[in-house]
Amino acid sequence: MPASARTADIARQLDLKPADPVVLIKRLLQFEGEVTVLDEIWLPGAVFRGTDARTALGV
């Protein structure tokens, strides 16, 4: 799926218009040095404009 179609789909799932901005934060979690979880956190762009992983996750 092209990126624009994917973000439009995510926007709809967040109850936004397909063209509304969204923010994607990806985070890898490790256990004993091995990657065990990949988080993909999608946020409404209008609310979280300028947000990065540090501010969103309190890192």
The rounded average pLDDT for each run of 10 residues, N- to C-terminus, in the chain (59 residues) is 80 91 89 94 84 64
Q: What is the pLDDT of residue 37?
A: 96
Contact between residue 47 and residue 55 where contact means Cβ atoms under 8 Å apart: no
Q: What is the pLDDT of residue 26?
A: 87
Contact between residue 45 and residue 21 where contact means Cβ atoms under 8 Å apart: yes
Q: What is the pLDDT of residue 18?
A: 87
Q: Tell me how many domains the chain contains.
A: 1
Q: What is the pLDDT of residue 32?
A: 96
> Which residues constitute the domain of residue 39?
3-57
CA geometry: angle 50, 18, 1, nearest 5 deg: 95
Nearest Cα neighbor of 20 from 41, 40, 42 is 42
